[in-house]
Amino acid sequence: MSVRELIDGLVHRPVTEKRPGRDDPALAELAEALNRAARKRLGRSLSIRAVDAGSCNGCELELIALNNAFYDLERFGIRFVASPRHADVLIVTGPVTKNMREALEFTYNATPDPKWVVAVGDCARDGGLFAGSYAVTGGVSDVVPVDLHVGGCPPRPIEIMAGLLALLERAQ
């Protein structure tokens, strides 16, 4: 570390700022409910594996947003994990292209029971705008059982959070 950086670090405030989102009542209320549900049902741990089954990547962008400081999903003990073997929940996006069908099945089978599947996005429901194409199946429930569907193209992060809350409440 250079002397300049050292001095910089001493005289300037850190780049970190207070957590945003406190001025958003809808988000705050949802966060409160999610927190309560996550604590009660899971003892603060729920692992999610995201599977893109041929999405346009729009839904992925909003899933990624759940990790930003505004939504900060991890504060409820809900985490995205790298392996289906560590997952309780699969979030599946996209119309399930025929080229992804097998990979989705493998991922589902690799996820230990009990497990839940959340289909995220309009095209995960029934293929959406892509329904009828030679290259897509009829949506996620055509391939694996679906516990909950969150609509939207893409759904807002707050809607995905609400979906997870509904899942937690139902999972009792």
Partner 1 sequence: MAETLKALIAAGRKIGHPTAWPRAVVDAKAWAVAIDELVAGSWTMLGLWGEKNAVHLALNAAGQLGILSFDCSRGLYPSVGLHHPPAIRFERAIHDLFGLTATGLQDPRPWLDHGKWGVSRPLGTKPAAAAPEPYRFLPSEGDNLHQIPVGPVHAGIIEPGHFRFTASGEMVVRLEERLGYTHKGIEGLMAGADLERASKLAGRTSGDSTVAYQFAFARAVEVALGADVPERAKWLRALMAELERLANHFGDIGAICNDAAFALMNAHTGMLREQVLRAADTAFGHRLMRDRIVPGGLAVDLDQAGGAAIEALIGEARRRFPPLVHLYDNTASLQDRTVSTGRLSAALAAQYGAGGYVGRASGRAFDARKSLGYAPYDALKFDVPVRQEGDVDARVWIRIREVEQSLSLIEQILERLPVGAVRTELPVPSAETEGAALVEGFRGDILVWLRIGADGRVIRCHLRDPSWFQWPLLEPVIEGNIVADFPLCNKSFNCSYSGHDL
Residues forming the site for ligand SF4 (CB under 6 A):
55-56, 58-59, 93-94, 121-123, 128, 153-154
Cα separations in angstroms, 84 against 3, 44, 55, 104, 111:
46, 19, 19, 11, 5
Rounded to the nearest whole angstrom, what is the least distance from the CB of residue 52 to ligand SF4 in the complex? 8
Tell me: does residue 102 bind partner 1 (CB under 8 A). Answer: yes
Cα separations in angstroms, 140 against 31, 76, 131:
28, 27, 12
76 close to 45: Cβ distance less than 8 angstroms: no
27 close to 154: Cβ distance less than 8 angstroms: no
Rounded to the nearest whole angstrom, what is the least distance from the CB of residue 42 to ligand SF4 in the complex? 27
> Judged by CB under 8 A, which stretch of 26-34, 81-89, 111-119, 162-170 contacts partner 1?
81-89
Q: Which does 80 bind (CB under 5 to 8 A by kind): ligand SF4, partner 1, none?
A: partner 1
123 close to 153: Cβ distance less than 8 angstroms: yes
Residues within the interface to partner 1 (CB under 8 A):
1-2, 5, 15-16, 20, 50-65, 67-70, 80, 82-84, 94-95, 97-103, 106-107, 123, 129-130, 132-136, 153-154, 156
